[in-house]
Structure 1
C-alpha cells in the first residue's frame, strides 16, 4: 500500500511538471507579446545590428553550453554513487571558486587580453565537461573548481570585449547598450529553457544518461571559441573611464569600473567600504542583496535532491524554473508601464515576503515522513518568479542610491562572505545521514530572508526609501 502511494505521488508529480511547463511557457509568450505591444522601441541602425549579431554569435553558444551542464549535474554525481554530503562539497567548491575568481576576473582580463582570456577559459571549461566522464571524486572536485574559475573569466572577458568594441572601436552611443542588454537578458532565459529540454531528451528520452548534456556542451563551447578566434579582434586596451556591463544575469544591469591594476582594485574596495559605512542606504541595500542572493546560491543545489527521488523529468523542471524567471521579469516591466509611480522599495519588500512564503512552503513540504513534491515544485516556481522580479527592482534601487558604482565593494564586503557562509551551511546542515538536513537548510533560508525583510522594512521607512522611483531604468527594462 505504501509503495502504491509513492508511485501515485511520483506519477502525479511528472504529470504536474509537464502541465506546469506548458502553462508557464504560454504565460511567458503571452506576457512578451503584451510587453512588445506596450513598448515598440527598437534600434534599426544596420551597423549596430551587425555588431550585435557578431557579439551574440559567440555569446549565445557558450551560454547554451553553460546551461546544458545545469539540469543533471546533481543526478550525475548521484549516479556515481556519492552521498549527498559528498555532492554538497563538490557544489561548494564550484560556488567558492566562482565567487573568489569573480572578484579578480576583471584584473586578469585586463592583464592577459580579452580574446586570449576568453579562448583559454573556454578551453578550460570544455575540459572540465569531459572530466565529468570520470567517477573519481577528486577529479570531479577539481573539475568544479576549474569550471567555477573558467566561467567567471570567460563571461567577464566577453563583457569587456563588448564594452570596448561598442564604445571605443565603433563609437556607438552608450544608450544603445540598453538594446543589447534587453536582447541578452531575454536570450539568456530562452537559451536556458531550450538547454533544459535538450538535456531532458538526451538524458531520459534517448537514454544517454546524465553525463550526455555535459559532453554535448563541449561542442558549443569550442564552437564559440572558434568564432572568437576567427571573428573577434582584441582591439584597443579597455578604457577605465567606461563602466563594465554584466549582461549574463536575467534582467540585471551590473556596472563596475574595470580595474586596470591590482592597486586600483584594492583602493576601490577600501573606498567602497568607507562609503558604505557612511551611507545607511548603501549598507541596507547591500545587506539585502547579499542575503537574498545567498539563498539563491542554496537553491541552485536544493531543488534537485528535493525532487529527484520522485523521478520527475529534471530537464523539464529546470526549464520550467527558468521560464518562471522570464515571467517575473515580464510582470515587472508591465507593472511599471501601468503604475508609473511604482516604488522599488515597496516592490522589494513584496518580493522578499513572497519569496519567504515560498521557502516556508518548502520547509513544510519536505518533512521526511510527509513529503509533498508537487507543493515543493510549486514553491520553487514561485521563488523563481520572484527572482525574475528581484533583479530589475534592484537595478532601480542601486541606480538611485549610486550602489551600481560600488558593486565591486558590495561583492567583496557583503556577497562573498555571505555566499561562503551559505556554502558552509550546505556542508554542515545537509547530509544523507540527517533526514532533516534539507528541511534545516530551507529553515535557514527562511531565517535569512526574514533578516532581509527586516532590513527592507527599515529601508522602506526611511525618507529616501519613500522617494525612490524607477524613472531612469524604465526605458531599459521595458
Structure 2
C-alpha cells in the first residue's frame, strides 16, 4: 500500500516538473530563477501604483502613531480616573467591532477610495475632540477613532490589492514587496512620530494635546494624495437581500470548500489579539528596570523593521509566505513562553524580596519582547499577501473587518483584566502571568492553525497553477 502511494506521488511530481520546464523553455525571459517570484520590475505602472499607495498609507499611519504616546497622559491631565480611561479605550474597540463591518461593506459596494478619503476626515474630527475634557466628547472621539482604525487597516489594503491584481493585472507575487515596504515604513513612521510628539509636547511644552493637533495636517496630506492619484472602482458588491444580509453573507466563505480561509482568519485573530494585549502589558512588566519608555518603544519599532527586511530577504531566497507565517507564529509562541516562565519566577521571588532576580527576569522579558517584535515584522507582510490571495475581491474589506471583531472583543477583555494591575505587588504580577500564559496557549493554537492553512494553501496553489499551465494561461510563479 505504502509503495503504491509513493510511486503515485513521484509520478505526480514528475508531471508537474515537466509542465514547469516546458513553461520555462517557452518563456525564458519571464522568470528570474534566483528569486521567489517573477522579477520585480522596472514596471512603471507597478512603481507608480506602489508609490501612490505607500505615500498615502504612510501619512495616515504617521498621523495615527502621533496620537499613541500621549493619549493616556491627556486623559489623566483632564482629571479622568483609570476606570474612566479604561472605558474610553474599550469604547474605541467596541466601535470598531460594531461599525467596522458596516464600513467594510460600504467600501466594497460604493468604493474603497471614497472610504479611505472619509477616513482622513473622520480621524481629523476624532483628533479635534481631544481638545475638550468632556467625557461625552472624548467618547464620541473614541467612536470615530474606532471606525477610522478599521478603515486604515483593512480598506487601504483592499484598494491596493484590487488595483494591483484586477485592473493592472500585475503578478500577485509582487504584493510581497509592497506589503514588506508598508511594514518597513510603518515602523519608521512610529519612531519618527514618537520623537516628533515628544519634541512638541515636552521640549516646547505645548502639552499632550498638541500631538493630536499636528496629526490633522498629515491626515489631510494623505487625503490630497488619495484624491489626486488614486482611481475609484465601485460596485464590486451588488445589493441582493438587503443591507443586513449583505453584511453577514461573507461569513459563509469561512466555512466553504476546504476552509483554508477559516484557518487564516484564526491565525489573524489570535496573533493580533495577542499583539494588542502585549501593547497594553509590556510597560509595567519592565518597571523594575525603569527604562526610558520612548527608547524602548523605538527599539520595538526597529525590531519590526528588522522583521520586515528579514521577510523580504527570505522571500527572495524562495521561502514561502505561508511557511514564514507559521514561523512568525512559532517564534511568537516561544518568546511568550519564556516571558510567562520569567513572570512565574518573579511571582515566586517577589515575596522573598529578591530584587536582583526580578531585574534579571525583566531583562529576559525585554530581550524576548524585542524578538517578538521581529516576528511581528515578519507577520504583517506575510498575512497581507496571503489575505490578498485568499479573500474574494468583492468581500475583501467586509471580511477583513469581520476578522477583526474577535480581536477587538479579546482586547477589551484584556484591558478590563489589566485595569489596576501593578507589577510591584504579587497580585499584579499574577495577572500578567495569567495574561501571558493565556497568550502563549493561544499562539500555540495559531501555530497549529497556520500549519493547517499552509498545507491547504500549498495544495491549492499547485492545483490552480497546474490547471493554468495546461490551459497555457501562465507559467508557474509560486514555488511549493
Q: How has the CA–CA distance of structure 1 residues 50 and 291 changed in structure 2, closer, same or farther, with 3 Å as cutoff?
A: closer
Tell whether 2:334 aligns with 1:353: yes
2:420 pairs with one of 417, 428, 431: 431
Mapped partners of 1:86, 1:52: distance in 2: 42
Q: 1:85 pairs with 71, 83, 87, which one?
A: 83
Partner of residue 388, structure 1: 377
8 Å CA contact 2:273–2:407 kept in 1: the answer is: yes
Question: Are the structure 2 counterparts of residues 155 and 455 from structure 1 closer, same or farther at C-alpha, using a change threshold of 3 Å?
Answer: closer
Separation in structure 2 between the aligned mates of residue 438 and residue 142 of structure 1, nearest angstrom: 34
Offset at 1:423?
1.1
Tell me if the contact between 1:121 and 1:154 (Cα under 8 Å) persists in the aligned partners: yes
Conserved? CA contact 2:271–2:443, under 8 Å:
yes
Task: Decide whether the 8 Å contact of 1:269 with 1:412 is kept in 2.
Answer: no
CA contact (8 A) 1:160 1:238 kept: no
Larger deviation, residues 42-51 vs 140-149: 42-51
SS at match of 2:208: coil
Higher Cα Rg: structure 1 or 2?
2
- SS of alignment partner, residue 213 of structure 2: helix
* Farther-moved stretch of structure 1 (309-318 vs 209-218): 309-318
Contact 1:355 1:386 (8 Å CA) reproduced: no
Deviation of the 1:417 alpha carbon: 3.2
Shift of 1:272: 1.8
The residue that corresponds to 2:441 in the other structure is: 450
Match of 1:324? 303
Q: Corresponding residue for 1:273?
A: 255
Residue 148 (structure 1) aligns with: 146
* Residues 160 and 330 of structure 1: CA distance in aligned 2, closer, same or farther (over 3 Å): closer
What are structure 1's unaligned runs of at least 5 residues?
Answer: 1-36, 242-258
Give the whole-Å Cα distance in 2 for the aligned partners of 1:305 and 1:233.
43
Aligned-partner Cα distance in 2 for 1:260–1:54: 35
Q: 1:62 to 1:343 in 2, by over 3 A?
A: closer
Q: Where in structure 2 are there 5+ consecutive unaligned residues?
A: 1-33, 466-476
Question: C-alpha offsets along residues 393-443 of structure 1, whole Å, 9 cap, x if unaligned?
Answer: 65798799x689998898688753354133123214522699534651452
Deviation of residue 125 (structure 1)? Answer: 0.8
Task: Give the 3 Å change call, closer, same or farther, for CA 459–349 of structure 1 in structure 2.
Answer: same
* Bigger mean CA deviation after superposition, 362-371 or 98-107: 362-371
1:302 pairs with 2:275: no
Work out whether residues 68 and 195 of structure 1, in 8 Å CA contact, stay in contact via their aligned partners in 2.
yes
Give the RMSD, CA atoms, in angstroms.
4.6
Q: 1:352 to 1:407 in 2, by over 3 A?
A: farther
The residue correspondences of 1:126-205 to structure 2 (distance < 5 A) are: 126-154=124-152, 156-167=154-165, 170=168, 172-205=170-203
Distance 1:228 1:336 in 2: 29
Q: Identify the match of residue 56 of structure 1 among 54, 59, 65.
A: 54
Q: For the structure 1 residues 387 and 154, does the alpha-carbon distance in structure 2 shift closer, same or farther, using more than 3 Å as the test?
A: closer
Distance 1:468 1:362 in 2: 41
**Structure-1 separation of matches of 2:225 and 2:445:** 48
Q: What do the CA deviations read for 1:162-208 (whole angstroms, capped 9, x no partner)?
A: 34544566555555444433332322222222212222322333333
- With structure 2 as the length reference, what TM-score do the two structures score? 0.69
Question: What is the rounded CA distance, in whole Å, between the counterparts of 1:132 and 1:408 in structure 2?
Answer: 28
Contact 2:65 2:194 in 1 (8 A): yes
* Distance change >3 Å, CA 357–CA 286, structure 1 → 2: farther
Inter-partner Cα distance in structure 1 for 2:301 and 2:286: 16
Give the Cα separation in 2 of the matches to 1:429 and 1:124: 29
Distance 1:451 1:412 in 2: 21
TM-score (norm 1): 0.70
Check conservation: 1:203, 1:210, Cα contact below 8 A.
yes
The separation in 1 between residues aligned to 2:442 and 2:120, in whole angstroms, is 38
The one-character-per-residue Cα deviations of 1:324-348 (angstroms, maximum 9, x if unpaired) are 1122333355456669699554663
Q: Give the secondary-structure state (helix, strand or coil) at the position aligned to 1:431.
A: coil
Partner residue, 1:26: none
Q: CA deviation at 1:49?
A: 2.6
Per-residue Cα deviation, 1:304-359 (whole angstroms, up to 9, x for no partner): 45568987544433222111112233335545666969955466334312233235
